[in-house]
């Protein structure tokens, strides 16, 4: 099976009727479409209600841009001192070597920047971005994202990871990727080898939104990374119609932990254009997250976060569990809703 890069490829793959394809032609012209051969095979026989289908196959609802939605929902542009770097927190930067992905998620927060023609850094631009990191001794962690950095060749990844490792003040390289669940066969021994270097700790955050994504192939790719000594984190977007119920989140977080991936963040969906049909309310999200406390262990609890529009960074989205009382003590609420007095 060949990769899909257009609506007509999706029609040819039997995932959409020609009429359904025609209805999303405008949307697909605006926001990139791609599916890997691996995912096309997994999607065979599914329909719009399927949690994988909904994440990748364009829908006519994307044509609607809600008034609060923005082209740059998390303010990357405002915080970019040089091309390819976003510097929002003092001790860490994003490094975005490319803007292409193996698949294009319909709710993508960078959907107006990523795509097949999405700019990649030229060798000179990459050098300038690395020089920025070198010249900023406060930068301890470099978050390599994009686009999807695991689309780079092992040779280019080696170059980036080794260059970062050679900067004395950089302690951690964290790569954010969807490849283990989008194209697990790409995680070869050669690719894994490219991700680590002697003088830096490599961490990987894998973007997974539903337990169905943890197929045997994906679990194999994850195991190859873990067995190379790379700690894995899970990054999930809370998505209406995909994972916005307690059972789906429970199955996902158990699946991640069972495969040695620590759930790190559960993101409230960003205000990206044409994504309002995916966005639960914050109150709905909070209720779901609160319900998880009693259902799964602490290992399975990510932090529910909101990326504050305008480039102000992430904030925990959950309501306070602990409320100060007037007498200097606290009221603590448990997972059943009962409250307890606490002094400490
Ligand atoms: C999310 C983000 C980070 C990483 O934040 P953590 O809370 O450390 O995961 C760093 N820089 C930018 C610009 C970000 O958006
Ligand atoms: S993998 Fe990430 S950057 Fe790429 S389309 Fe999906 S959400 Fe966007």
* Residue pLDDT, tens place only, 311-320: 778 888 876 6
pLDDT at 344: 61
d(CA 332, CA 324): 9
Contact 271, 310 (CB under 8 A): no
Overall average pLDDT of the 55-61 stretch: 97
Contact 317, 305 (CB under 8 A): yes
Res 118 pLDDT > 90: no
Residue bearing the CA closest to ligand 2, atom 6: 105
pLDDT at 267: 96
Structure confidence by residue, pLDDT tens digits, 27-46:
999 999 999 999 999 999 99
Overall average pLDDT of the 112-122 stretch: 85
Identify the nearest ligand to the CA of 76 by its number.
1
The active-site residue out of 79, 96, 106, 110 is: 110
pLDDT at 77: 84
Contact 192, 224 (CB under 8 A): yes
Res 78 pLDDT > 90: no
Query: 105 in ligand 2 pocket by Cβ < 6 Å?
Result: yes
Counting every residue written for the chain, the total comes to 344
Residues with CB under 6 A from ligand 1: 74, 86, 88-89, 92, 94, 143, 314
Query: 182 in ligand 2 pocket by Cβ < 6 Å?
Result: no
- CA 25 to ligand 1 center in whole angstroms: 34
C-alpha neighbours within 13 Å on the C-beta side of residue 59: 19
Structure confidence by residue, pLDDT tens digits, 229-242:
999 999 999 999 99
- 68's tokens: 């609060």
pLDDT at 260: 98
Query: 167 in ligand 2 pocket by Cβ < 6 Å?
Result: no
d(CA 220, CA 228): 12
Q: Is 268 exposed, middle or buried (0-12, 13-18, 19+ CB in 10 A)?
A: buried
Structure confidence by residue, pLDDT tens digits, 269-327:
999 999 999 999 988 999 999 999 989 999 999 999 988 877 778 888 876 667 788 88
* Active-site annotation holds for 334: no
Ordered structural domains, the chain, with CATH:
1-61 (no CATH), 64-323 (3.20.20.70)
Helix axes 246-258, 282-295, angle to 10 degrees: 50
Query: 272 in ligand 2 pocket by Cβ < 6 Å?
Result: no
Instruction: Please report where in the chains the tokens 């990326």 appear, as a residue.
Output: 307
Res 335 pLDDT > 80: no
pLDDT at 30: 95
pTM: 0.94
Q: Is 200 helix (H, G, I), strand (E, B) or coil?
A: strand
- CA 71 to ligand 2 center in whole angstroms: 15
pLDDT at 270: 93
Overall average pLDDT of the 222-228 stretch: 98
Q: Which tops the pLDDT comparison, 77 or 122?
A: 122
* Active-site annotation holds for 89: yes
pLDDT at 314: 84
Q: How many CB atoms lie within 10 A of CB 107?
A: 23
Residue bearing the CA closest to ligand 2, atom 3: 147
> Do strands 330-333 and 322-324 pair parallel, antiparallel, or not at all (unpaired)?
antiparallel
pLDDT band at 50 (very low <50, low <70, confident <90, very high): very high
Res 86 pLDDT > 80: yes
* Active-site annotation holds for 300: no
pLDDT at 320: 67
Structure confidence by residue, pLDDT tens digits, 143-167:
999 899 999 999 999 999 999 999 9
């Amino acid at each position: 099976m060949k990769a899909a890069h257009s609506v007509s490829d999706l029609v040819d793959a039997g995932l959409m009727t020609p009429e359904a394809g025609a209805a999303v032609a405008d949307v697909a012209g605006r926001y990139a479409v791609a599916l890997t051969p691996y995912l096309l095979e997994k999607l065979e026989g599914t329909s719009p209600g399927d949690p994988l289908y909904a994440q990748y196959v364009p829908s006519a609802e994307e044509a609607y841009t809600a008034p609060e939605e923005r082209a740059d929902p998390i303010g990357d542009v405002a915080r970019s001192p040089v091309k390819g770097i976003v510097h929002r927190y003092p001790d860490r930067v994003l490094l975005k070597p490319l803007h292409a992905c193996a698949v294009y998620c319909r709710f993508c927060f960078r959907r107006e920047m990523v795509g097949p023609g999405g700019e990649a850094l030229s060798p000179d631009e990459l050098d300038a971005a690395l020089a920025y990191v070198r010249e900023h001794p406060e930068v301890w962690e470099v978050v390599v994202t994009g686009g999807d950095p695991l689309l780079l060749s092992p040779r280019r990844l080696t170059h980036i990871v080794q260059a970062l490792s050679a900067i004395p003040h950089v302690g951690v390289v964290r790569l954010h990727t969807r490849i283990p669940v989008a194209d697990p066969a790409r995680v070869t021994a050669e690719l894994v080898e490219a991700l680590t270097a002697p003088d830096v700790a490599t961490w990987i955050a894998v973007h997974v939104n539903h337990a169905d994504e943890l197929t045997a192939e994906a679990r194999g790719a994850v195991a190859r990374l873990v067995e190379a000594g790379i700690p894995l984190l899970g990054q999930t977007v809370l998505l209406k119609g995909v994972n916005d119920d307690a059972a789906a989140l429970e199955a996902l977080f158990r699946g991640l932990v069972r495969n040695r991936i620590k759930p790190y963040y559960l993101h409230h969906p960003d205000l990206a254009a044409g994504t309002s049909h995916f966005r639960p309310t914050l109150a709905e999200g909070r209720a779901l997250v609160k319900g998880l406390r009693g259902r799964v262990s602490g290992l399975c609890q990510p932090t529910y976060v909101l990326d504050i529009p305008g480039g102000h960074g992430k904030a925990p989205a959950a309501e306070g569990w602990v409320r100060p009382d007037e007498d200097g003590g606290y009221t603590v609420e448990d997972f059943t809703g009962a409250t307890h007095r606490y002094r400490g």
